[in-house]
Structure 1
């Protein structure tokens, strides 16, 4: 009986002789993020940082006025383009001011923001 169990007692010793191989964790592939889009504010000086009253005086009554919490979006449209002006309260408090604008053609394609501001300003002057 002892001869039959002897090989079983040697199994733990055999396991200690086996070399351990460590598998390095797979390194995830590097993801190349696109560079952030930088917007120029040239030509937007009369809009960025202005209150709703100021831009309404410049472009007339907005075609759309959406409020969500303390944020506000005013949309102005003309034959050349559609301008969305996004207003948020300044950090120190006070009336919301335009912090960002988007512009597009009437069919939805992107359009230069400064050109849209200029076109809408000209349209308003001729009313």
Structure 2
């Protein structure tokens, strides 16, 4: 048996392993989270840009009120739909305003946001 073959394999193995190594990925710079926005449509202007007090006047007391730092989520539910209103302060020290809303059926399926706003404003708790 030729002794050069094992020596050749011993020399080639590190080169083959080095070819499999991956270069480290550059880290993306950290940026503050981007607050989602919703374009205004018919009926959404009654909610978008409003503060918590205005929502309570429109819908009554929220079924759920969750605070995380300066952000706040108010949830209103009925047999027709569930509306989540996300409020963020426009500037430090300012009152949080609705910047994003999401609507769904009680089963969890998507629901039209404007229709949900209309349905919730007619519920008994809103009067």
TM-score, length of structure 1 as denominator length: 0.65
| Structure 2 runs not aligned, ≥5 long | 1-36
Superposed CA deviations along residues 61-117 of structure 1, whole A, max 9, x for unmatched, are 000000000000000001100000000001364110000000000000000000000
- 1:88 corresponds to 2:102: no
How has the CA–CA distance of structure 1 residues 115 and 50 changed in structure 2, closer, same or farther, with 3 Å as cutoff? same
2:122 aligned residue: 122
SS at match of 1:56: helix
> Partners of 2:86 and 2:38 in 1: how far apart?
15
2:71 aligned residue: 71
> Partners of 1:126 and 1:72 in 2: how far apart?
20
How has the CA–CA distance of structure 1 residues 60 and 69 changed in structure 2, closer, same or farther, with 3 Å as cutoff? same
Determine which structure has greater relative contact order: mean sequence separation of CA pairs < 8 Å that are 6+ residues apart, divided by chain length.
2
TM-score, length of structure 2 as denominator length: 0.65
| Structure 1 runs not aligned, ≥5 long | 1-37
Q: CA RMSD in A?
A: 1.9
Larger Rg: 1
- 1:41 corresponds to 2:44: no
Asked if the contact 1:66–1:73 (Cα under 8 Å) also holds between the matched residues in 2, the reply is yes
How has the CA–CA distance of structure 1 residues 95 and 41 changed in structure 2, closer, same or farther, with 3 Å as cutoff? same
Asked if the contact 2:61–2:125 (Cα under 8 Å) also holds between the matched residues in 1, the reply is no
> Partners of 2:63 and 2:111 in 1: how far apart?
18
